[in-house]
Amino acid sequence: MTEYPVYRGRRLRDGSAVRSLVRETRLSPEQTLLPLFVEAGEGIRIEVPSMPGVYRSSVEGILEDAREAMELGVGGVILFGIPETKDDEGSGAWAEDGVVQTAVRELKAELPELLVATDVCLCEYTSHGHCGVLEGNGVLNDPTLELLARTALSHARAGADIVAPSDMMDGRVGAIRQALDGAGFPQLPIMSYAVKYASAFYGPFRDAADSTPLLGDRRGYQMDPANAEEALREVWADLEEGADIVMVKPALAYLDIIRRVKDEVEVPVAAYHVSGEYAAIMAAVERGWLGDEAMEEALLSIRRAGADIVISYWAREFARRC
């Protein structure tokens, strides 16, 4: 006669072997991407104050970071550029000898096996800090598309393996796809930041990349954190324009959105554990208020929510522990 309780969940929790056997979610380093900030110049390596362990580096430093990440099994890197000078249009974004283009060339020459993705946006290159052509306090959508397409194409020519537009202009995936196809890059995948919220969690990134808008904010193009259905519209629009991978950003505050997107579409979904989400955990770890397993738990939860690819400033550290 079986006595109550029949179900004893603890049978599968006890003992590390059985616990591991029935584990439902696994995150492996090869499913992660490490963001790197490339700065123009030489011999530069500055730790971002609000992001311990994250540096703005000139190309030599980037090569070192990328090599280490690759050797540890991290899936790849995603590059952000910090140019020497900025202008109204953001022309540094598409310069053939621009900071990202140069870094991509060197990375692909030194580490041909490394997957190199590039962030395609103008905000790090414009003097006003907005993601496109500014008129008054607003960003003009359609004139921006051509500049983004030019930028993506210059990354493709440098040898990028994936381009990742993060600007949130309407129609940019289509414009980039067309430019790539027309220039002989029909095979180059686009990972679109399809669902990008106007989030307070980008603060440390903007300090790092020096890209805070001088006037106004990004609410004219980035999404309202209150909206979920809109996320699905954005995903479908980008897929119809030719996106290969769709991204949700931020990640931890939007786990429900990651799940909804993953349930809705049958393409790889990426999620970006952004600078502020990283900084919050790191700050607590530094104070001894949290153990750094909290970061592992956060990244695992993003994977459990449905992300196939997790973008994390902690990707290298995570790989080291696997």
The CA-CA-CA angle for residues 241, 129, 224, to 5°, reads: 55
Task: Give how far Cα 276 sits from Cα of 62, 198, 201, 272, Å.
Answer: 22, 13, 4, 11
Task: Identify which of 279, 178, 286, 195 has the alpha carbon closest to the alpha carbon of residue 236.
Answer: 195
User: How many whole angstroms separate alpha carbon 155 and alpha carbon 176?
Assistant: 11
Quick one: 26 or 143, whose CB is closer to ligand PBG? 143
Answer left, alpha or beta for residue 201, where phi above 0 means left and psi between -120 and 50 means alpha.
Answer: alpha
Is 249 an annotated catalytic residue? yes
**Residue 209: which H helix or E strand, with range?**
helix 203-209
Q: Which residue has the tokens 């381009």?
A: 163
Task: Give how far Cα 123 sits from Cα of 182, 187, 290, 302, Å.
Answer: 26, 27, 34, 27
**Binding-site ranges for ligand PBG (CB under 6 A):** 119, 121, 123, 131, 166, 202, 205-206, 218, 274-275
Peptide bond into 5 cis (omega under 30): yes
Hey, which residues are catalytic here? 196, 249
